[in-house]
């Protein structure tokens, strides 16, 4: 089957908003008007909590699916879920990676709120074109112009109104369309499906003329011909004006602002028109960069069906009907179900089995997918978020998403056997969905350990375990994941000898242990010549060495950055065994760690604080008091961006401190950067606590 829509008729976009601005309601209305959802659900009705998963089940539609396809004016819209918890780089990154544009929903009575500020700045960082929808115009206190001001004041955006409200608060009836210079007035039917196009009401004529001029002046800036025509008194016609606004959005020259009330069903259809008219298609966004998997040379893949096939897995989810599904964005070429592809990130072959297109309330099996498509694949063997899947003959690795190792951990203990079972199932699902979340078992205590990227990250996982999976458990305090490393080269000669009645045990090993480059990991090499340690005993040596790595001699943390060589040894014809060599190697390495001047390493986080200028001094002072090193300070829009390296151990509870320090207006993101030696005084404290 050929592609149903030309690639220029695709809009892959996300809807971003502060909590409660109306993202869910707006999405639902979009799905209703595009004809895919048959009833309009009311969010939060009959439910005191904001448990979106439960709500979603009640409503039986997939609005929190990672992507939903719908159609408007013969265009194909893929709405990509932009996660609410923007504290996690990975969550934001993976959706910003695959969307081409965004709609930013504001609460008309609140304007830009803290979370909007955060997502807006993230979108700035990733250069995402966007339009603004000021929602809740029916609400008491709603004010379009105040919202517009807040876009300037709080995020240094460049808002330009494309509409003006007709009526206010409870009397909000529709909008003046400043592009067509017409009024759109909704009929008061419950569904808002119908609106009438009329002349602009007389009482709004002056205001409309004023804002029309602002719009036209901002638009003609983008084109010399349009500008000179305008200076000669000729306004651009409607088609030209739309074209110029489209250019403005793509170049981030300004941010068009629309308004309405999703809840009262007004203003959503023009929003859909704006998505089609102004947000970019994959073609507008151009080629994606990657590296050739064979030569490692940088290459590009153009958004075209004629290019070699490539796609990026951006979300793995558990689907109640299909099981585990992998959401992928196709960047180039096409793929058919049944074809063989390769996961170039992991060098693993895969077969495309079932491919699905997710709609609001149904899923459609498809046989082919083309450049620009967002598809859900069922039954892939070994794909993780961020992997590239592609043509095995032309393997490419698309720009990677980085997933740093977890640096913080908590122990979790289920209260009953039933909880234990639920916990196991829930954790395997959570770990598959989020590559920055890991689960392990503590060998000594048998406890389940959850590892993640920060306090908040783990808090939310625990919350999901409790609320969604109903696991009742005790949770320990968060701990820093320290590591240990030796600081000098040492040689140890160790002989294990035991004579108990019959056959004895004998093994002698001589090892060299030395520190390596940070991040090089652990390596072992046997330098044995002439069979002084027979080959069959070498695995025993390796096993013995590895058994020590999990818990170092300082405070029992994993040992890293270590290279061990076996340089000599001896055996006994009768008494030697793999086990004897294992015991000898273990003791030898323990001794080496003792003698090697082991030091404690701690995770250092790269912290980015975005704060209104007024709080810069206190934010920096506070970071310094946390053993932080300020790396730099910059302006982004009208906010100050402070970059610092801070030990994770001193970042617990930071979210609250920052909130109270800035009246909730500063935000931060934190990401693991590297491990660094713990200063002596601090190390002594840590050792006293853990050893
Ligand atoms: N008055 C009014 N209320 C609205 C409007 N849109 C949404 N709401 C209400 O605002 C509340 C939040 O709406 P949601 O659509 O759930 O907002 P959200 O941004 O998805 O919120 P979270 O899912 O909690 O992040 C609900 O009670 C809605 O009914 C609107 O246009 N006018």
Contact assessment for residue 470 and residue 422, using Cβ atoms and an 8 Å cutoff: yes
pLDDT at position 497 = 92
Ligand 1 pocket, residue 28 CB under 6 Å: no
In angstroms, rounded to a whole number, what is the distance separating the alpha carbons of residues 144 and 147?
5
Q: Which atom of ligand 1 is nearest to the CA of 25?
A: 15
186-221 per-position pLDDT tens digit: 987 667 778 999 999 999 999 999 999 999 999 999
What is the residue-wise DSSP string for 407-461? Answer: -EEEEEEESSHHHHHHHHHHHHHHHHH-TT-EEEE-TTT--EEEEESSHHHHHHH
Ligand 1 pocket, residue 138 CB under 6 Å: yes
127-184 per-position pLDDT tens digit: 899 999 999 999 999 999 999 999 998 889 999 999 999 999 999 999 999 999 999 9
- DSSP 8-state secondary structure symbol assigned to residue 207: H
Asked if pLDDT for residue 544 goes beyond 90, the answer is yes
Mean pLDDT highest for which of 124-128, 189-193, 294-298, 621-625?
621-625
Our mutation pick for probing the ligand 1 site, out of 263, 266, 460, counting the most ligand atoms within 8 A of Cβ, is 263
pLDDT at position 369 = 96
Ligand 1 pocket, residue 139 CB under 6 Å: yes
**55 CA → ligand 1 middle, Å:** 13
Contact assessment for residue 423 and residue 475, using Cβ atoms and an 8 Å cutoff: no
Complex ipTM, two decimals?
A: 0.96
pLDDT at position 319 = 74
Asked if pLDDT for residue 97 goes beyond 90, the answer is no
Contact assessment for residue 69 and residue 78, using Cβ atoms and an 8 Å cutoff: yes
Query: Where is average pLDDT lowest: 362-366, 401-405, 480-484?
Result: 401-405
- Closest protein CA for atom 7 of ligand 1: 22
- DSSP 8-state secondary structure symbol assigned to residue 614: G
Contact assessment for residue 61 and residue 37, using Cβ atoms and an 8 Å cutoff: yes
Ligand 1 pocket, residue 265 CB under 6 Å: no
* Residue numbering of the annotated binding site: 17-24, 81-85, 135-138
Alpha-carbon separation of residue 269 from 30, 244, 266, 477, 651 (angstroms):
8, 21, 8, 49, 46
pLDDT at position 397 = 93
Query: Where is average pLDDT lowest: 326-335, 375-384, 592-601?
Result: 375-384
Rounded mean pLDDT, 367-382: 92
Rounded mean pLDDT, 605-613: 88
Please indicate whether residue 503 or residue 587 has the higher confidence score (pLDDT): 587
Ligand 1 pocket, residue 63 CB under 6 Å: no
505-516 per-position pLDDT tens digit: 999 999 999 999
Rounded mean pLDDT, 608-621: 93
Q: Which atom of ligand 1 is nearest to the CA of 52?
A: 23
**30 CA → ligand 1 middle, Å:** 14
In angstroms, rounded to a whole number, what is the distance separating the alpha carbons of residues 671 and 12?
28
**130 CA → ligand 1 middle, Å:** 20
Query: Where is average pLDDT lowest: 76-85, 275-284, 673-682?
Result: 76-85
**Residue 121 dihedral angles phi and psi, to the nearest 5°:** -70, -35
Q: Which of 161, 150, 79 is nearest to 108 (CA)?
A: 150
In angstroms, rounded to a whole number, what is the distance separating the alpha carbons of residues 398 and 293?
9
pLDDT at position 84 = 57
Q: Taking the model in full, what pTM does it have? A: 0.70
Our mutation pick for probing the ligand 1 site, out of 25, 41, 105, 109, counting the most ligand atoms within 8 A of Cβ, is 25
pLDDT at position 644 = 94
Please indicate whether residue 395 or residue 606 has the higher confidence score (pLDDT): 395
Our mutation pick for probing the ligand 1 site, out of 15, 18, 19, 20, counting the most ligand atoms within 8 A of Cβ, is 20
Asked if pLDDT for residue 395 goes beyond 60, the answer is yes
pLDDT at position 115 = 75
Q: Which of the four pLDDT bands, split at 50, 70 and 90, describes residue 362?
A: confident
pLDDT at position 18 = 81
Rounded mean pLDDT, 496-504: 80
**Helix 238-250 crosses helix 268-278 at what angle (to 10 degrees)?**
70
* Residue numbering of the annotated binding site for GTP: 17-24, 81-85, 135-138
**60 CA → ligand 1 middle, Å:** 18
pLDDT at position 403 = 62
Cα 456 off chain centre by: 14
pLDDT at position 39 = 43
**131 CA → ligand 1 middle, Å:** 19
CA end-to-end span of the chain: 66
**501 CA → ligand 1 middle, Å:** 80
**578 CA → ligand 1 middle, Å:** 66
CB count within 10 Å of CB 70 equals 21
- Closest protein CA for atom 29 of ligand 1: 43
- Closest protein CA for atom 30 of ligand 1: 136
Ligand 1 pocket, residue 44 CB under 6 Å: yes
- What percent of the chain lies above the pLDDT cut of 90? 58
Q: Which of the four pLDDT bands, split at 50, 70 and 90, describes residue 65?
A: low
pLDDT at position 401 = 65
Asked if pLDDT for residue 63 goes beyond 60, the answer is no
Q: Which atom of ligand 1 is nearest to the CA of 18?
A: 19
Ligand 1 pocket, residue 262 CB under 6 Å: yes
pLDDT at position 145 = 97
Ligand 1 pocket, residue 52 CB under 6 Å: yes
Cα dihedral value 247, 251, 254, 255, nearest 10: 90
Helix, strand, coil content of the chain in percent (nearest 5)? 30, 35, 35
549-560 per-position pLDDT tens digit: 988 888 888 898
Q: Which of the four pLDDT bands, split at 50, 70 and 90, describes residue 60?
A: very low
Ligand 1 pocket, residue 261 CB under 6 Å: yes
Mean pLDDT highest for which of 248-262, 402-416, 520-534?
248-262
Bridge partner residues of 163 (DSSP): 177
**260 CA → ligand 1 middle, Å:** 13
In angstroms, rounded to a whole number, what is the distance separating the alpha carbons of residues 533 and 542?
13
**42 CA → ligand 1 middle, Å:** 9
Ligand 1 pocket, residue 20 CB under 6 Å: yes
pLDDT at position 429 = 80
Asked if pLDDT for residue 337 goes beyond 50, the answer is yes
Query: Where is average pLDDT lowest: 110-114, 469-473, 644-648?
Result: 110-114
pLDDT at position 653 = 83
Q: Which atom of ligand 1 is nearest to the CA of 42?
A: 29
- Closest protein CA for atom 13 of ligand 1: 22
Our mutation pick for probing the ligand 1 site, out of 22, 48, 102, 113, counting the most ligand atoms within 8 A of Cβ, is 22
Ligand 1 pocket, residue 21 CB under 6 Å: yes
- Closest protein CA for atom 4 of ligand 1: 263
- What percent of the chain lies above the pLDDT cut of 70? 92
Q: Which of the four pLDDT bands, split at 50, 70 and 90, describes residue 58?
A: very low
- Closest protein CA for atom 14 of ligand 1: 22
Q: Which of the four pLDDT bands, split at 50, 70 and 90, describes residue 491?
A: very high
In angstroms, rounded to a whole number, what is the distance separating the alpha carbons of residues 395 and 172?
55
**681 CA → ligand 1 middle, Å:** 51
CB count within 10 Å of CB 624 equals 13
pLDDT at position 40 = 44
Collapsing DSSP states into helix, strand and coil, what is residue 100? Answer: coil
SS3 string, 516-584, reads: CCCCCCEEEEECCCCCCCCHHHHHHHHHHHHHHHCCCCCCCCCECCEEEEEEEEECCCCCCCHHHHHHH
Asked if pLDDT for residue 432 goes beyond 80, the answer is no
Q: Which atom of ligand 1 is nearest to the CA of 262?
A: 31
Cβ-proximal residues to 688 (8 Å cutoff; 6+ apart), any chain: none
Rounded mean pLDDT, 658-679: 85
Contact assessment for residue 259 and residue 144, using Cβ atoms and an 8 Å cutoff: yes
Ligand 1 pocket, residue 153 CB under 6 Å: no
pLDDT at position 615 = 95
- DSSP 8-state secondary structure symbol assigned to residue 373: -
Q: Which of 201, 208, 131 is nearest to 164 (CA)?
A: 208
- Closest protein CA for atom 12 of ligand 1: 20
Ligand 1 pocket, residue 266 CB under 6 Å: no
């Amino acid at each position: 089957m050929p592609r149903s829509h030309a690639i220029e008729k695709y809009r892959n976009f996300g809807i971003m908003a502060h909590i409660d601005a109306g993202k869910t309601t707006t999405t639902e209305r979009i799905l209703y008007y595009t004809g895919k959802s048959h009833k309009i659900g009311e969010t939060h009705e009959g439910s005191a909590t904001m448990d979106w998963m439960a709500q979603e089940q009640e409503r039986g539609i997939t609005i929190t699916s990672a992507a939903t396809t719908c159609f408007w004016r013969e265009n194909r819209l893929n709405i990509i879920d932009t996660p609410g918890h923007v504290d996690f780089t990975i969550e934001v990154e993976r959706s910003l990676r695959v969307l081409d544009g965004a709609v930013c929903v504001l609460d008309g009575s609140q304007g830009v709120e803290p979370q909007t500020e955060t997502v807006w700045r993230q979108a700035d960082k990733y250069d995402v074109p966007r339009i603004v929808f000021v929602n809740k115009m029916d609400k008491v206190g709603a004010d379009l112009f105040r919202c517009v001001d807040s876009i300037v004041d709080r995020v240094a955006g460049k808002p330009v109104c494309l509409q003006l409200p007709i009526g206010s608060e409870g009397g909000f009836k529709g909008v003046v369309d400043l592009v067509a210079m017409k009024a759109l007035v909704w009929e008061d039917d419950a569904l808002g499906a119908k609106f009438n196009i009329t002349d602009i009401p007389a009482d709004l004529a002056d205001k409309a003329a004023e804002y029309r001029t602002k719009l036209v002046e901002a638009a003609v800036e983008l084109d010399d011909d349009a500008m000179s025509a305008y200076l000669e008194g000729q306004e651009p016609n409607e088609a030209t004006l739309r074209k110029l606004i489209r250019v403005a959005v793509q170049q981030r020259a300004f941010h068009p602002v629309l308004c309405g009330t999703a809840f009262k069903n007004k203003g959503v259809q023009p929003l859909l028109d704006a998505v089609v008219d102004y947000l970019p298609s994959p073609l507008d966004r151009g080629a994606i960069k990657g590296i050739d998997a064979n030569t490692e040379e940088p290459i590009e893949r153009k958004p075209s069906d004629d290019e070699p096939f490539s796609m990026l897995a951006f979300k793995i989810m558990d689907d109640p009907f299909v099981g585990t599904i992998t959401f992928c964005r196709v960047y180039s070429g096409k793929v058919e179900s049944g074809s063989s592809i390769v996961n170039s990130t992991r060098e693993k072959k895969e077969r495309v089995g079932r491919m699905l297109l997710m709609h609001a309330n149904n899923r459609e099996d498809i046989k082919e997918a083309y450049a620009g498509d967002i598809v859900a694949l069922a039954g892939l063997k070994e794909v993780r978020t961020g992997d590239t899947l592609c043509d095995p003959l032309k393997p490419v690795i698309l720009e990677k998403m980085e997933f740093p190792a977890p640096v913080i951990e908590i122990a979790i203990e289920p209260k009953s056997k039933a909880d234990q079972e639920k916990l196991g199932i829930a954790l395997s699902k959570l770990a598959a969905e989020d590559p920055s979340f890991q689960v392990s078992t503590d060998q000594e205590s048998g406890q389940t350990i959850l590892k993640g990227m920060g306090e908040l990250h783990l808090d939310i996982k625990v919350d999901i375990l409790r609320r969604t999976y109903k696991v009742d458990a005790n949770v320990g305090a968060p701990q820093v994941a320290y590591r240990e490393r030796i600081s000098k080269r040492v040689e140890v000669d160790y002989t294990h000898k035991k004579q108990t009645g019959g056959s004895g045990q004998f093994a002698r090993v001589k090892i060299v242990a030395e520190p390596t480059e940070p991040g090089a990991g652990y390596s072992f090499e046997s330098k044995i010549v002439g069979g002084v340690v027979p080959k069959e005993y070498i695995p025993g040596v390796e096993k013995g060495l590895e058994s020590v790595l999990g818990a170092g001699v300082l405070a029992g943390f994993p040992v890293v950055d270590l290279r061990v060589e076996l340089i000599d040894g001896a055996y006994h014809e009768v008494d030697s065994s793999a086990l004897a060599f294992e015991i000898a190697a273990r003791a030898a390495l323990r001794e080496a760690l003792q003698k090697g001047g082991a030091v404690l390493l701690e995770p250092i986080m790269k912290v980015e604080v975005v704060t209104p200028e007024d709080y810069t001094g206190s934010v920096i002072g506070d970071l310094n008091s946390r053993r932080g090193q300020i790396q730099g300070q910059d302006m982004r829009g009208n906010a100050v961006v402070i970059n610092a390296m801070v030990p994770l151990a001193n970042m617990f509870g930071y979210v609250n401190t920052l909130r109270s320090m800035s009246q909730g207006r500063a935000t931060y993101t934190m990401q693991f950067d590297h491990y660094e030696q713990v200063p002596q005084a601090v190390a002594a404290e840590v050792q006293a606590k853990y050893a």
